Amino acid sequence: MLLAAKHAAKIDAEHPPRRSLRRRTLRFVLFAALGLVPACRGATPPPLQLLNADFRVTYAEARARSLAAEGPIVLATGDELILFHEGAMERRVAIPSAYAHLPLAIFVTLHDRGGQLDESTRARLEGLHARAVGARAAAESERLPPEARVRQARLLSSSLEFLDATLSSGRSEPAEVTAFARRSAPLVLESAKDAARLQIEGYDAVIAEWRSRIPPEEWQSASAVVSGSALPRAGALGVQYFAQLFGESGEGRRVIYSESVYDPERMLRLRATHQLDRRIAEAFFEDDERMHRDLLSDAARELLSER
């Protein structure tokens, strides 16, 4: 009974928003499969819903088997690379701190605050100012090439000058905020290039170490899952990096973008879902991409075009 309860709790965690019928159905199927059918509150779900719930349980089991059979998987999340290989995870910090977001922080604090600074905005600017002073003092200890340190110092200094002027006047004028953003743009882009270079070098070092320990025939099936927010997606550095590494054109069979999902366990589950859905699509439709779009999409397009 304890095993059944644990599995039921897992189902609850994996299906959080819908408390109602689908969750009760999944629990019912799970307990029924274990021969431990509990007393039901309300009517037993209809047979078709039981069948569909049974599919979901079976699918989850098949997905777990698919993951166990996978070659090495590299997860790129935050400043880490994580290697999932032979059932174990190995973490490496791969991205040094190299990119000051200070001008962007100033802009998002002030862009819609035209006029007199209120108390909370002034406090936020004072906090940014203090952190910028500390960052400038510590700049020499950063692991940056000399020219990158110079760019960072210029970016921090110009931002501090703007903060000093804004705090002194006690006002935030939209035209001045926009002018600051435009002046900062070249430095922001140069700093972004420095950050990209360091990230690529960091990835190279970690990947080289892992490849030296993994047999070449296993690495041939390696894949990557890159986490990030919705907007960067196709142009994300991690997607570009691993696509080049694996000889892919971008997202696809060996490179997956994990949109707004940063937890390693969920990223691995996403990879296993992609692989299992490819096998389903190839077997049923002779098109291994078919399950990567809504199964109802073709029918919906046809029916809606007839309206």
pLDDT at 41: 58
Are 220 and 247 contained in the same domain?
yes
Average pLDDT over residues 91-99: 77
In a domain, 305, yes or no: no
At what angle are helices 174-213 and 102-110 packed, to 10 degrees? 140
Are 236 and 88 contained in the same domain?
yes
In a domain, 165, yes or no: yes
In a domain, 278, yes or no: yes
CA distances to 159, 224, 255 from 221, rounded to whole Å, are 47, 10, 11
pLDDT at 54: 82
Are 114 and 186 contained in the same domain?
yes
pLDDT at 9: 44
Are 281 and 223 contained in the same domain?
yes
DSSP helix/strand/coil, 270 = helix
Select from 198, 217, 234 the last residue of a domain. Answer: 198
Could you tell me if 244 and 236 are in contact, meaning their C-beta atoms sit under 8 angstroms apart? no
Are 63 and 82 contained in the same domain?
no
Banded pLDDT at 148 (limits 50, 70, 90)? confident
Are 49 and 31 contained in the same domain?
yes
Select from 198, 219, 235 the last residue of a domain. Answer: 198
Banded pLDDT at 17 (limits 50, 70, 90)? very low
pLDDT at 241: 96
Are 251 and 177 contained in the same domain?
no
In a domain, 22, yes or no: yes
pLDDT at 29: 47
In a domain, 307, yes or no: no
In a domain, 20, yes or no: yes
DSSP helix/strand/coil, 54 = helix
Average pLDDT over residues 20-35: 49
pLDDT digits (tens, 9 = 90+) for 199-253: 999 999 999 999 999 999 999 999 999 999 888 787 899 999 999 999 998 888 8
Are 106 and 194 contained in the same domain?
yes
In a domain, 306, yes or no: no
Could you tell me if 45 and 28 are in contact, meaning their C-beta atoms sit under 8 angstroms apart? yes
Average pLDDT, the chain: 83
73-77, strands of its sheet edge to edge: 88-93, 80-85, 73-77, 223-228, 255-259
Residue 300 has pLDDT above 90, yes or no: yes
Sign of CA dihedral 296, 298, 303, 307: positive
Report the domain count for the chain.
3
Are 63 and 90 contained in the same domain?
no
Domain hosting residue 57, numbered range: 2-68
Are 106 and 92 contained in the same domain?
no
Are 26 and 58 contained in the same domain?
yes
Select from 164, 198, 232 the last residue of a domain. Answer: 198
In a domain, 110, yes or no: yes
pLDDT digits (tens, 9 = 90+) for 280-290: 888 898 888 88
Determine the Cα–Cα distance for residues 143 and 155; give it in Å rounded to an integer. 17
